[in-house]
Amino acid sequence: MSHTPVVLTPASADQAVSAFGDGSGVTVIGGGTIVMPEIAGRRASFSKALLLSGAGLAGITRQGGVVRIGAATTLQALIGATPDPLSTAAQRVGDYEIRGQATIGGNLCAGPGRETPRGDLQAPLIALAASVRTAGAGGEQVQPVEDFLESGPAGRLVLEVEFSEPTRGAYTSMGRPHTHVYTVLSVACAETPEGLRVAIGGAGPTGARAPSVERALADGASVEDAAARVLDDVEPQDDALASAWYRRKALPALVARALADIGKESG
């Protein structure tokens, strides 16, 4: 016997959290730019869909030097209203129609543990030392974005991300000309209250921090020497966009460019 799919449309964050429960059997739909084509193309189906668009989870607030962004905030809304590297990364995603519909929560959940490529906002959020507030089994939880990406989004409803305002930020990316796809590689840097942080997108299944680059800079290495250390932090992979070989060749130069953009002098 087939069951009629249920679509839940919570009108508040509390309703969304209670409708999500422990997440079993629930398909969350943020902007739907990944989920909807899957459903329409019959590559995925759902028994219970949770639409976040009316749940009051969109918006950017600032208080005491902390930036908070609701999970249903669109990528378009991030542009110019959030600091770099996040603003520029959002600007470079897909097309206007995608940016206007896609959400930061969906971007964070794109990739890890799923059959979709990683979201391009993951590296900027790692560079910004962002934390993610989620709900699910055991209640609400706040964790660093790296930990969230490592454990994967299964069973968690992303409610909000937050980070301290950086002093400076930079974002460099490499795409495929004349295509509308995820970046081949990206580098995000931010001067945060805890120091300079560097993160890489596109080298693996999720964004990743580059601690060896950060340490080398702190120890006084030149930009070029520090940038070369990035290959100690990430193991570039082959995919349909580029080979691991190409990524290994290009990544140190991209890191050096991002460091120059944030004001680090070449030595």
Ligand X SMILES: Cc1cc2nc3c(=O)[nH]c(=O)nc-3n(C[C@H](O)[C@H](O)[C@H](O)COP(=O)(O)OP(=O)(O)OC[C@H]3O[C@@H](n4cnc5c(N)ncnc54)[C@H](O)[C@@H]3O)c2cc1C
Q: Kindly list the residues in this chain that would bind ligand X in the complex (CB under 6 A).
A: 27-35, 52, 71, 75, 93-95, 98, 102-103, 105-107, 109-110, 114, 119-120, 153, 157-158, 180-182
Tokens of residue 24, six digits: 């079993």
Write down the least CB distance from residue 88 to ligand X, Å: 13
- Nearest to ligand X of 208, 231 (CB atom): 208
Contact predicate 130/171, CB 8 Å: no
Q: How far apart are CA 63 and CA 81, in angstroms?
A: 14
- Nearest to ligand X of 83, 153 (CB atom): 153
- Nearest to ligand X of 101, 231 (CB atom): 101
Write down the least CB distance from residue 221 to ligand X, Å: 31
- CB burial string 131-168: b at 16+ within 10 A, e below: bbbbbbeeeebeeebbebbeeebebbbbbbbbbbbbee
DSSP for 171-191, please give it. Answer: EEEE--TT--S--SEEEEEEE
Q: How far apart are CA 113 and CA 135, in angstroms?
A: 18
Q: Which residue is nearest to ligand X (CB)?
A: 106
- Nearest to ligand X of 34, 187 (CB atom): 34
Write down the least CB distance from residue 217 to ligand X, Å: 27
**Run of H or E residues at 66:** strand 66-70
Q: How far apart are CA 162 and CA 73, in angstroms?
A: 13
- Nearest to ligand X of 159, 226 (CB atom): 159
- Nearest to ligand X of 181, 218 (CB atom): 181
- Nearest to ligand X of 28, 185 (CB atom): 28
Contact predicate 204/238, CB 8 Å: no
Write down the least CB distance from residue 181 to ligand X, Å: 6
Contact predicate 102/75, CB 8 Å: yes
Write down the least CB distance from residue 86 to ligand X, Å: 12
Evaluate the omega torsion of the peptide bond into residue 193 and state whether it is cis, within 30 degrees of 0: no
Write down the least CB distance from residue 27 to ligand X, Å: 6
Write down the least CB distance from residue 89 to ligand X, Å: 8
